Structure 1
Amino acid sequence: MTSLTQRSSGLVQRRTEASRNAAAEKERDSADEENGPRRGDEQDSDDGGDAKETRLTLMEEVLLLGLKDREGYTSFWNDCMSSGLRGCMLIELALRGRVQLEACGMRRKGLLARKVICKSDAPTGDVLLDEALKHIKETEPPETVQRWIELLSGETWNPLKLHYQLRNVRERLAKNLVEKGVLTTEKQNFLLFDMTTHPLTNSDIKQRLIRKLQEAVLDKWVNDPHRMDKRMLALIFLAHSSDVLENAFAPLLDDQYDLAMKRVRNLLDLEPEGESMKANANELLWAVVAAFTK
């Protein structure tokens, strides 16, 4: 629970952001009347039909939500994103049909007790995903979702398991976003050391992502996770687990913010075991949710 002081600060921040966004929107509307509709608006669609070169993976979306626009780096105090990004990888592989949970068997196992198995080793086109998939395919005996999140993060005391760690994940994801024209690369001096940063250059893509998140829990809320787009459902869970969901809701007005967070809380209060047994549910997605909410 946040303190009253933090809460008040958050409300002031959201009011400031909302006012700034309203002024910017008014200015854009005036420009549209003079110049006609923008090409970006024509291409934008409700189902995420962005141009192919700007489609983002779940890992890239979570990182983009966590990056400071001008500074080009994530909060130094965020110790949740590392495991959150590994959860993104597992769900991304599951949504692409590369991995799944093992069959339940006669005695139904819980989600966190079931092993992750390789369903297809076809390349995904993403180096990080292919690296994680290679580990999952070659590991015998198979590991559980929770164990894979730990191994891919390097959180193990077993020196024989350290080779599973995916290194420099944030930097590699940032470079992917640079190649997609979303970020740029700069060097910043922090007194004692220099650090490579990746400031935002294409604000339209990030604003589109934030708008989709906001609409998912406000205008397009369906009150049933199984009627939601699976990628959007996963993004909400993973953004929360990575402690960056607040960044998407900060520009909202107070009543909208409260409603959005109430609905997110409703999702977080769901029982993953029960949800995974419903029709058309992605079991591995709910296993990752269980790993973060247990």
Structure 2
Amino acid sequence: MTSITRRGGGNLTQRNTGSKGADGGKGIEDEENYSPDLNEEDEYETEDSKAKRLTLMEEVLLLGLKDKEGYTSFWNDCISSGLRGCMLIELGLKGRIELEKTGMRRRSLLNRKVQCKSETPTGDVLLDEALKLVKETSNQETTQGWIELLSGETWNPAKLRYQLRNVRERLAKNLVEKGVLTTEKQNFLLFDMTTHPLTDTTAKQRLIKRVQDGVLSRWPNDPHRIEKRLLSLIYLAHSSDVLENAFAPLSDEDYELAMKRVRELLDLDPDAQIGKQGVNDVMWAVIAAFIK
């Protein structure tokens, strides 16, 4: 199992159990007994932490937040669209939205429209707002189109009503309610800003460890054998430019191996993944929108 260490630190070392096999590529020693249906998150969750189970959106934001400062990097202009992609994947995995059927003519994921599959509320305010917009729109959009609309990246004033505002602040407040963050005011010379420093360090360490193990000790050499939420987290954290924060504590050797495996995932063709058992089309359509 991977222990969190500081990459580049002189006295800190790291050992991975089974992170590399004899051929340097195996991450799970007995692949025949590995089942993608097992809940891989259980290993990282205690009874207390299950009450704090985070959404995909909250996990990406938590990776991007500076622990003490309580805000994301001012130079990160990717996380906004990344969080909207997380919403679509969450709705897809929960069975609320789906892609239109292709019929006899096979179309690429990026050309298929998003449809409302179920109007049942998810219980998450942000997800339910996004679901309502998908359900009520008269002109169906692709996953790429919805990411842009929910982010407010449109030149059509009539479509600005689809923008979900203050997403990062609302997600941060959710994390405050779950006891992961706290709320403070910081003065930046010309203005005051509400920040959300980290209070529950174990929650973030657990999240980082899960991401690290996903590409090191538990690497299965097959994306379809990676738990869907973890696979989505790796892709969306990369697209949101926060994945580096999870890999920063690694030793140089493990960092290089982790990045090598992330590049393998990025080189996959999402359209080629469709049709396999257990595949979620919405998840891969969102991934395609970011890596193509």
The reply to whether TM is greater than 0.5 is yes
Q: Are 2:44 and 2:206, in contact at CA under 8 Å, matched by a contact in 1?
A: no
Match for residue 139 of structure 2 among 130, 136, 141: 141
State how far apart, in whole Å, the 1-side matches of 2:8 and 2:270 are. Answer: 35
State how far apart, in whole Å, the 2-side matches of 1:205 and 1:125 are. Answer: 22
State how far apart, in whole Å, the 1-side matches of 2:65 and 2:191 are. Answer: 20
More divergent stretch after superposition (70-79 vs 139-148):
139-148
Match for residue 239 of structure 2 among 238, 241, 253: 241
State how far apart, in whole Å, the 1-side matches of 2:247 and 2:10 are. Answer: 10
The answer to whether 1:286 aligns with 2:279 is: no
State how far apart, in whole Å, the 2-side matches of 1:186 and 1:17 are. Answer: 34
Letter matched to residue 177 of structure 1: L
Matching residue of 2:126: 128
**Cα distance change on mapping 1:14 and 1:293 into 2, 3 Å:** same
Q: Are 1:17 and 1:250, in contact at CA under 8 Å, matched by a contact in 2?
A: no
* Secondary structure of 1:100's aligned partner: strand
Write the mapping of 1:60-209 to structure 2, written as runs, cut at 5 A. 60-209=58-207
CA deviation after TM superposition for structure 1 residue 46, in Å: 2.2
Deviations 1:22-62 (A, max 9, x none): 9xxxxxxxxxxxxxxxxxxxxx8327566442000000000
State how far apart, in whole Å, the 2-side matches of 1:293 and 1:60 are. Answer: 21
The answer to whether 1:46 aligns with 2:46 is: no
CA deviation after TM superposition for structure 1 residue 92, in Å: 0.4
Matching residue of 1:267: 265
Matching residue of 2:12: 19
Deviations 1:199-236 (A, max 9, x none): 00000000000000000100000010111100000000
State how far apart, in whole Å, the 2-side matches of 1:49 and 1:274 are. Answer: 37
Number of residue equivalences: 261
State how far apart, in whole Å, the 2-side matches of 1:55 and 1:150 are. Answer: 28
CA deviation after TM superposition for structure 1 residue 141, in Å: 2.4
Matching residue of 2:35: none
CA RMSD of aligned residues (A): 1.8
Larger helix percent: 1
State how far apart, in whole Å, the 2-side matches of 1:132 and 1:121 are. Answer: 11
Matching residue of 2:209: 211
CA deviation after TM superposition for structure 1 residue 19, in Å: 3.0
**Cα distance change on mapping 1:140 and 1:176 into 2, 3 Å:** same
State how far apart, in whole Å, the 2-side matches of 1:142 and 1:133 are. Answer: 13
Unaligned stretches of 5+ in structure 2? 1-5, 16-40
Unaligned stretches of 5+ in structure 1? 1-12, 23-43
CA deviation after TM superposition for structure 1 residue 278, in Å: 1.8
Letter matched to residue 12 of structure 2: S
